[in-house]
Amino acid sequence: MAEIELKSARLIQLSHISKAFGKVLALDDVSLELRPGEMLALVGENGAGKSSLMNVLYGLYHPDQGELRIKGERVRLRGPKDAIARGIGMVHQHFMLVPTLTVAENVVLGREPTRRGLLDLKRAQQEVEATCKRFGFQLDPTARISGLTVGSQQKVEIVKALHRGAQVLILDEPTAVLTPQEADELFRVARGLSAEGHTVVLISHKLKEVLAFAQRICVMRRGKMVASVAASQTDTRRLANLMITGEEESAAAPSLHVTAEGSAAATTASAGEPLLKLDGVCAGPKLTGATLEVRAGEIVGIAGVDGNGQRELAEVVTGLRPVDRGEVRLCGATGSLDPHEARHRGVSHVPEDRLLHAIVGPMRVDENVSLGRQEQPPFARGPWIDFTGRRERTQALAEAYDVRPRDPSIPCGRLSGGNQQKVVFARELDARPKLLVAVQPTRGLDIAAVAAVRRKLLEEKARGVGVLLVSLDLEEVLALSDRIYVMFEGKVAGERPRGADERELGALMLGGAAHG
Residue from 138, 233, 384, 515 in contact with other proteins (CB under 8 A): 384
Pick the piece of the chain touching other proteins (CB under 8 A) from 33-41, 120-128, 186-194, 404-412.
404-412
Residue from 255, 263, 374, 388 in contact with other proteins (CB under 8 A): 374
140 in Cβ contact with 125 (< 8 Å): no
206-210 long-range contacts, CB within 8 A, separation 24+: 206/175, 206/475, 207/43, 207/236, 207/239, 207/240, 208/236, 208/475, 209/175, 209/183, 210/41, 210/43, 210/239
Residue 262 interacts with other proteins (CB under 8 A)? no
Pick the piece of the chain touching other proteins (CB under 8 A) from 8-16, 77-85, 264-272, 370-378.
370-378
Residue from 105, 298, 367, 476 in contact with other proteins (CB under 8 A): 367
For the bound state, the minimum distance from the C-beta of residue 512 to other proteins, rounded and expressed in Å, comes to: 20
183 in Cβ contact with 154 (< 8 Å): no
Other beta carbons within 10 angstroms of residue 502's beta carbon come to: 14
Q: Is 8 helix (H, G, I), strand (E, B) or coil?
A: coil
Residue from 6, 24, 98, 514 in contact with other proteins (CB under 8 A): 24
Name the helix (H) or strand (E) containing 295: strand 287-295
CA distance 385 to 376: 10
For the bound state, the minimum distance from the C-beta of residue 380 to other proteins, rounded and expressed in Å, comes to: 5
Q: At what angle do helices 150-163 and 180-195 cross, to 10 degrees?
A: 20
CA distance 366 to 374: 11
What beta strand segments (E) does 355-482 contain?
Answer: 380-381, 384-385, 435-439, 466-470
For the bound state, the minimum distance from the C-beta of residue 27 to other proteins, rounded and expressed in Å, comes to: 8
Interface positions, 131-160, toward other proteins (CB under 8 A): 150
Over the window 224 to 253, marking each residue x when it contacts other proteins by CB under 8 A and - when it does not, the resulting string is --------------------x---------
For the bound state, the minimum distance from the C-beta of residue 107 to other proteins, rounded and expressed in Å, comes to: 19
Interface positions, 439-458, toward other proteins (CB under 8 A): 440, 443-446, 448-449
Residue 420 interacts with other proteins (CB under 8 A)? yes
Nearer to other proteins, 198 or 393 (CB): 393
Residue from 26, 201, 218, 253 in contact with other proteins (CB under 8 A): 26
Beta-bridge partners for 349:
437
Amino acid symbol at 34 = L
CA distance 129 to 138: 9
Interface positions, 44-103, toward other proteins (CB under 8 A): 46-47, 49, 51-52, 61, 93-95, 99
Nearer to other proteins, 192 or 254 (CB): 254
Q: Say which DSSP state 34 is in.
A: E
Over the window 296 to 315, marking each residue x when it contacts other proteins by CB under 8 A and - when it does not, the resulting string is ----------xx---xx---
Q: Is 381 helix (H, G, I), strand (E, B) or coil?
A: strand
Residue from 87, 418, 441, 466 in contact with other proteins (CB under 8 A): 418
CA proximity to 18, closest of 58, 68, 74: 68
Interface positions, 264-293, toward other proteins (CB under 8 A): 286
290 in Cβ contact with 492 (< 8 Å): yes
Amino acid symbol at 262 = G
For the bound state, the minimum distance from the C-beta of residue 469 to other proteins, rounded and expressed in Å, comes to: 16
Cα 414 to chain centroid, rounded: 21
CA distance 57 to 374: 48
CA distance 123 to 128: 8
Interface positions, 4-23, toward other proteins (CB under 8 A): 21-23
Number of residues that bind other proteins (CB under 8 A): 78
Residue from 396, 405, 462, 504 in contact with other proteins (CB under 8 A): 405
Nearer to other proteins, 23 or 515 (CB): 23
Cα 303 to chain centroid, rounded: 14
CA distance 332 to 284: 24
For the bound state, the minimum distance from the C-beta of residue 438 to other proteins, rounded and expressed in Å, comes to: 14
Nearer to other proteins, 50 or 86 (CB): 50
For the bound state, the minimum distance from the C-beta of residue 307 to other proteins, rounded and expressed in Å, comes to: 3
Q: Is 320 helix (H, G, I), strand (E, B) or coil?
A: coil
Over the window 169 to 198, marking each residue x when it contacts other proteins by CB under 8 A and - when it does not, the resulting string is ----x---x---------------------
Nearer to other proteins, 150 or 229 (CB): 150
Cα 324 to chain centroid, rounded: 31
Residue 407 interacts with other proteins (CB under 8 A)? yes
Nearer to other proteins, 127 or 407 (CB): 407
